């Protein structure tokens, strides 16, 4: 997609991206994001402390267990877990975090967003990479357009 918002372009520069919240259920939003990022050419790591395998590959219990540098993290978990993930990002030097959210609360935790700002972590609050990774499907183009009116996406 041309003319990406600056913070989205910076996030998507990362070649290695972890997606926290990938489920054994392939229809969950985190799984869709995981597959879209892979399709877009990123090396993607699934994070789920309750599964050892998801989407046909390994799942990691946390960011530390991935064992290699990660450039960015999509948080697509319950908001109660978001702060813990941000703290791991800070410890590991990860400076790009995207909190998944569409029309509801999503994965956004005000404490986690505050921790990002205090820790020098660039965070995107709202929407998801599926709204920006080409080819963007019709549904995500519509959601991006609608959510922009409420300042809920970059």
Q: Give the HSE-up count for residue 49: Cα atoms under 13 Å, Cβ half-sphere.
A: 7
Give the pLDDT band of residue 140 (cuts 50, 70, 90).
confident
Does the pLDDT value for residue 17 go beyond 90? yes
H/E segment holding residue 114: helix 110-118
Residue 94 confidence (pLDDT) above 60: yes
Confidence of residue 2 (pLDDT cuts 50, 70, 90): low
34 has pLDDT over 60: yes
104 vs 36, higher pLDDT: 36
Please tell me whether the peptide bond between 135 and the residue prior to it is cis, using omega within 30 degrees of 0. yes
pTM: 0.92
> Quick one: fold of 6-149?
Rossmann fold (3.40.50)
């Amino acid at each position: 997609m041309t003319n990406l918002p600056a913070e989205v372009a910076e996030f998507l520069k990362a070649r290695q991206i972890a997606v926290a919240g990938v489920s054994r259920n392939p229809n969950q939003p985190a799984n869709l994001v995981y597959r879209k990022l892979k399709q877009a050419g990123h090396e993607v790591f699934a994070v789920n402390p309750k599964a050892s395998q998801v989407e046909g590959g390994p799942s990691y219990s946390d960011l530390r267990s991935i064992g290699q540098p990660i450039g960015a993290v999509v948080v697509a978990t319950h908001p109660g877990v978001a702060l813990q993930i941000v703290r791991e990002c800070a410890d590991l030097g990860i400076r790009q975090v995207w909190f998944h959210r569409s029309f509801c609360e999503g994965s956004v935790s005000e404490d986690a967003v505050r921790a990002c700002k205090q820790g020098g972590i660039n965070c995107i609050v709202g929407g998801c990479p599926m709204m920006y990774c080409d080819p963007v499907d019709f549904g995500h183009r519509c959601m991006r357009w609608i959510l922009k009116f409420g300042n809920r996406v970059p």
